[in-house]
Amino acid sequence: MALQKRRRGPKRTRQQRSAWMKKSGENRPLVQGCPNCGAPRIPHRVCGACGFYNGAQVAKARTADAAE
């Protein structure tokens, strides 16, 4: 059985995964509405608008005042 010559490092792995996710088609992540605020978000990720995940506040909500 063939063996790899070099191990793929974490940076390269993340770059490949990022490129794979950006491709069009079935690889693209779904966008669903947040059950708390209704803003679009990717499943299994914290909502960027309200900071809720799985029914609990886990991050600070983003506001327009924070950007200034």
Mean pLDDT, all residues of the chain: 83
Average pLDDT, stretch 23-50?
Answer: 83
User: For position 59, what pLDDT does the model report?
Assistant: 84
What residue segments make up the domains of the chain, in order of their start?
Answer: 30-63
- Burial classification of residue 53, based on how many CB atoms lie within 10 Å of its CB (0-12 exposed, 13-18 middle, 19 or more buried): middle
Distance CA(39)–CA(10), nearest Å, equals: 32
In the predicted model, what is the mean pLDDT of residues 20-36? 77
Cα–Cα nearest to 37, from 23, 47, 27, 24: 47
When pLDDT is cut at 50, 70 and 90, the band that residue 64 belongs to is low
